[in-house]
Amino acid sequence: MLKKALIGAVALTALTAAQAQAQYSDNKIKIGVLTDLSGTYSDLAGKGAIVAAQMAVEDFGGKVNGVPVEIVSADHQNKADIASSIARKWYDAEQVDAIAELVTTAAAIAVREVSKEKGKIDLVSGAASTALTNAKCSTTGFHWTYDTAALANGTANAVVKNGGKSWYFLTADYAFGHDLQAQTERVVKANGGEIKGAVRHPFPNSDFSSFLLQAQASGAQIIGLANAGADTINAIKQAKEFGITQGGQSLAGMLVFITDVHSLGLETAQGMMMTTGYYWNRDDETRAWSKRWSAKMDGKMPSMVHAGTYSSVMHYLKALAAAKTDDGMKVAEQMRALPIKDASGFAINGKIRADGRMVHDMYLAQVKKPSESKGPWDYYNIVRTIPGDDAYQSLADSKCDLVKK
Amino acid sequence: MMTLFGIPAAALFGQLLLGLINGAFYAVLSLGLALIFGLLNIINFSHGAQYMMGAFVAWLGLTYLGANYWVALLLAPLVVAAFGIVLERTMLSRLYKLDHLYGLLLTFGLALIIEGVFRNLYGISGIPYAVPKELAGGWNLGFMYLPIYRAWVVIASLVLCIGTWLLIEKTKLGAYLRAATENPALVQAMGINVPIMITLTYGFGVALAAFAGVLAAPIYSVNPLMGSNLIIVVFAVVVIGGMGSIMGSIVTGFMLGLLEGLTKVIYPEAASTVIFMVMVVVLLIKPAGLFGKGA
């Protein structure tokens, strides 16, 4: 009896000693992956993002200073209300410490509001809008993979400099499309290009022939596609059918993921320019990581959102270890201080700014000809590396109130 | 240059032609729906999913069996129709005596299940399907560039629509079918196997959807949700044409395609709503639809 009590006392002392070293509430780290598991974005984010987050936890050793890490996940169905109610439930009732992925701007902003209120970390990867690091910025909120400014700077700059001076836009008629068009127009005009016009198409839309014909009649050299997913795929497929590209006009897909190229096939997509935050076949490091991911995902290859989710979760775990607490403010401080480096080869020259933007090198890619492709998913030639500072909106232009001016 | 509605006439002709092409899809799809509703009294909400299955069967045939587009055009409707017949025999046939709503709910549920299964197997982004070599390229008509494939879509749809209408309205088989829906017991007494005729009709309606799916595969993104995006518009077409009216659905399909084409030039933002505005107006003025025989 006495022996048992003694052991108990020793164990208790040991436990409190450990806690004095590192303060992790409820002795568990929980990271929620909140994403689209069934809708339009479920290929470019979705299950692959959960797999990527799990890989980050495994690669980190499954524990932070001896405290186990667990990944939970849910489907926000691209709806802001569902996203924010899941976030609330996770933070309030299920001891979730951070939420990752968050495709769809509306959903990401909804979760951003909740995280800000609760002082919890959000790691946005799939959402595109620059609003997340401007009006909606937060000390504990991070935007990791790409944004509309980087896409516009990367693609539009290169295209205008290659002689594509006059533009016509096919724009998805909702907030994201309008934002992407506005960002691109700004870059085109800054480079001395001109805007011939734009047509706003319903979202979603399957037949683009009518809009393509209007774009053709405008005589613009470049048809900018300010849309995403199936809309982009349909527009590109039908542009080829209507002889737009043979007629000397070129397409510029402002937001194209590798999953879209896979769906189009190289025969249709070849020659298209785009900006991406990641390409699996860029070097040995990216190939090694992507093949590990691929083995868990039936041979698919990761999109930039998948790699970005891995990278952001990995960096969060490192910051947790360094901060020795799961307090959101302290972890966020460490996240900004620590160098960003991980096995996926994602965040090259990565750094986190005051506005929460993780600035890293982006890549201008061109889709290969079918004859150049050496195997499945071998789709891009990297034309140019765009240094992070050139790609992203400059801090001077930021409307974030955390940026000291 | 001559202008109409403030648009150069040449551009307008181009847009009208495109509208006609889209109308062809609406016509084939709404024809299948009208057929199934007219003869079975079932509102087939899984029509969109069956259209999607047609496109996927074409792709599966090409990828795993090397079956080209022309084979797929025959094969996909047969395969999907066989699937439809199984559904009809095992489930739908139990609902004929009940309210329309039961059939609607069942087929809606089936559509969700079918789409879910395909989404699980093939993801959401879709799969590539090339335009067949024989129909690649296009003609420059002066006012627009017409891809040969689109011309083929219009011709194939027209032939199919007219053929179906003739079959139902002008042949003996069609007469039996129409009689069987009016009074199944009497027709059965004449020695005609009514249940088999009903089953085959459902199969035929489903085959039409699958045929449209194969037609769509080279020009639209082939993905598990391609049908659900289209089906609501097609339902509107059927309602405007008059539920169950075969000629109504054909004519309305083409007409609304034209109207939508015009809207895409004049005010593109409204292109997805214009058909529903027409539907509201038609329902207010003529509740049975433009070609309906009265409620």
A254: CATH: 3.40.50.2300
Residue A227 to chain B, least CA–CA distance (Å): 14
The answer, for A204 touching chain B at a CB cutoff of 8 Å, is yes
A233-247, A380-394, B181-195 — most confident range: A380-394
Of the candidates A167, A225, A158, the one whose C-alpha atom is nearest the C-alpha of residue A390 is A158
The answer, for B226 touching chain A at a CB cutoff of 8 Å, is yes
- What value does the mean pLDDT take over residues B153-169? 94
pLDDT digits (tens, 9 = 90+) for A66-115: 999 999 999 999 999 999 999 999 999 999 999 999 999 999 999 999 99
Residue A230 to chain B, least CA–CA distance (Å): 6
Regarding whether A338 and A298 lie in a shared domain, the answer is yes
Nearest to A230 among B221, B271, B272 (CB): B221
Residue A402 in domain: no
Regarding whether A109 and A47 lie in a shared domain, the answer is yes
Of the candidates B152, B119, B131, the one whose C-alpha atom is nearest the C-alpha of residue B228 is B119
Q: What are phi and psi of A300, to 5 degrees?
A: -75, 170
The answer to whether residues A180 and A128 touch, using CB atoms and an 8 Å cutoff, is yes
Alpha-carbon span B219 to B230, nearest angstrom: 14
The answer, for A38 touching chain B at a CB cutoff of 8 Å, is yes
> How does residue A291 score in pLDDT terms, banded at 50, 70 and 90?
very high
Measured between CA atoms, the residue of chain A closest to residue B118 is A38
Whether the pLDDT of residue B10 is over 90: the answer is no
> How does residue B13 score in pLDDT terms, banded at 50, 70 and 90?
confident
Residue A334 in domain: yes
Nearest to B221 among A43, A46, A234 (CB): A234
SS3 content of chain B, % helix, strand, coil (to 5): 75, 5, 20
pLDDT score at A314? 97
Regarding whether A141 and A228 lie in a shared domain, the answer is no
Whether the pLDDT of residue B82 is over 90: the answer is yes
Regarding whether A211 and A100 lie in a shared domain, the answer is no
Alpha-carbon span B274 to B265, nearest angstrom: 13
- What value does the mean pLDDT take over residues A243-261? 90
Q: What percent of chain A has pLDDT over 70?
A: 94
Specify the higher pLDDT residue, A3 or A237. A237
Please tell me whether residue A281 adopts helix, strand or coil conformation.
coil
- 8 Å CB contact of A214 and B18: no
pLDDT digits (tens, 9 = 90+) for B33-73: 999 988 888 899 999 999 999 999 999 999 999 999 999 99
Q: What percent of chain B has pLDDT over 70?
A: 97
- What value does the mean pLDDT take over residues B111-124? 92
> How does residue A18 score in pLDDT terms, banded at 50, 70 and 90?
very low
Residue A22 in domain: no
Regarding whether A115 and A244 lie in a shared domain, the answer is no
The answer to whether residues B49 and B116 touch, using CB atoms and an 8 Å cutoff, is no
pLDDT score at B257? 93
Q: DSSP assignment of B124-148, as one string?
A: SS-B--PPPGGG-SEEE-SS-EEEH
Of the candidates A316, A325, A322, the one whose C-alpha atom is nearest the C-alpha of residue A25 is A325
Nearest to B128 among A202, A206, A263 (CB): A263
Tokens of B291: 């070609």
Domain of A299?
27-146+283-360
- What value does the mean pLDDT take over residues B23-42? 90
Q: What percent of chain A has pLDDT over 90?
A: 83
- What value does the mean pLDDT take over residues A5-14? 55
pLDDT digits (tens, 9 = 90+) for A333-353: 999 999 999 999 999 999 999
Please tell me whether residue A167 adopts helix, strand or coil conformation.
strand
Please tell me whether residue A55 adopts helix, strand or coil conformation.
helix
Q: What is the mean pLDDT of chain B?
A: 90
* Probe site for chain A from B119, B220, B221 (most A CB atoms < 10 A): B221
* Probe site for chain B from A35, A207, A297 (most B CB atoms < 10 A): A207
Torsion of CA A303, A307, A313, A317, to 10 degrees: 170
Regarding whether A153 and A142 lie in a shared domain, the answer is no
Q: What are phi and psi of A271, to 5 degrees?
A: 90, -15
- 8 Å CB contact of B226 and A242: no
In sequence order, the 6+-apart residues with CB closer than 8 A to the CB of B86 are none
Residue A17 in domain: no
Task: Tell me the ipTM for this assembly.
Answer: 0.84
Helices (H) and strands (E) in chain B, counts: 11, 4
Residue A12 in domain: no
- Which residues does chain B have within 8 Å of residue A40's beta carbon, measured at their own beta carbons? 124, 225
- 8 Å CB contact of B128 and A268: yes
The answer to whether residues A171 and A145 touch, using CB atoms and an 8 Å cutoff, is no
pLDDT score at B78? 97
- 8 Å CB contact of A210 and B125: no
Pairing of strands A380-386, A141-143: unpaired
Rg (CA), chain A: 22
The answer, for A210 touching chain B at a CB cutoff of 8 Å, is yes
Regarding whether A354 and A289 lie in a shared domain, the answer is yes
The answer to whether residues A361 and A348 touch, using CB atoms and an 8 Å cutoff, is yes
Whether the pLDDT of residue A135 is over 50: the answer is yes
- Which residues does chain A have within 8 Å of residue B218's beta carbon, measured at their own beta carbons? 241
Task: Write out the E strands in A315-379.
Answer: 351-352, 358-359, 362-367
Residue A95 in domain: yes
The answer to whether residues A325 and A67 touch, using CB atoms and an 8 Å cutoff, is no
pTM (2 decimals)?
Answer: 0.86
Pairing of strands A362-367, A380-386: antiparallel
- 8 Å CB contact of A263 and B126: yes
CA A375 to chain CA centroid, Å, is 26
Alpha-carbon span A50 to A35, nearest angstrom: 9
pLDDT score at B77? 97
- State the distance between the two ends of chain B, measured CA to CA, in whole angstroms: 48
Whether the pLDDT of residue B184 is over 90: the answer is no
CB burial readout A356-395, b (16+ within 10 A) else e = bbbbbbbbbbbbbeeeeeeeebebbeeeeebebeebbbeb
- Which residues does chain A have within 8 Å of residue B16's beta carbon, measured at their own beta carbons? none
Regarding whether A381 and A299 lie in a shared domain, the answer is no
pLDDT score at A93? 95
Helix (H) / strand (E) element for A29: namely strand A29-35
> How does residue A19 score in pLDDT terms, banded at 50, 70 and 90?
very low
pLDDT score at A17? 47
Regarding whether A246 and A126 lie in a shared domain, the answer is no
- What value does the mean pLDDT take over residues B240-265? 90
Query: Which residue is listed with tokens 């200073």?
Result: A65
pLDDT score at A51? 98
pLDDT score at B58? 96
Specify the higher pLDDT residue, A18 or A44. A44
Helices (H) and strands (E) in chain A, counts: 15, 15
Whether the pLDDT of residue A9 is over 60: the answer is no
A37-41, A269-273, A283-287 — most confident range: A283-287
Whether the pLDDT of residue B266 is over 90: the answer is no
The answer, for B21 touching chain A at a CB cutoff of 8 Å, is yes
Tokens of A244: 């737009």
Whether the pLDDT of residue B176 is over 50: the answer is yes
The answer, for A35 touching chain B at a CB cutoff of 8 Å, is no
Alpha-carbon span A375 to A57, nearest angstrom: 30
CA atoms lying within 13 Å on the CB side of residue A22: 20
Alpha-carbon span A359 to A146, nearest angstrom: 9
> How does residue B182 score in pLDDT terms, banded at 50, 70 and 90?
confident
pLDDT score at B5? 62
CA atoms lying within 13 Å on the CB side of residue A81: 0
Pairing of strands A222-226, A250-253: parallel
Residue A315 in domain: yes
Residue A3 in domain: no
The answer to whether residues A386 and A274 touch, using CB atoms and an 8 Å cutoff, is no
Regarding whether A256 and A221 lie in a shared domain, the answer is yes
Alpha-carbon span B155 to B136, nearest angstrom: 16
Whether the pLDDT of residue A379 is over 60: the answer is yes
Alpha-carbon span A235 to A254, nearest angstrom: 12
pLDDT score at A10? 54
Domains of chain A: total: 2
Regarding whether A138 and A38 lie in a shared domain, the answer is yes
The answer to whether residues A326 and A320 touch, using CB atoms and an 8 Å cutoff, is yes
Regarding whether A370 and A231 lie in a shared domain, the answer is yes
The answer, for B131 touching chain A at a CB cutoff of 8 Å, is yes
CA B95 to chain CA centroid, Å, is 23
In sequence order, the 6+-apart residues with CB closer than 8 A to the CB of B265 are A210, A214, B7, B11, B12, B15
- What value does the mean pLDDT take over residues B153-168? 94
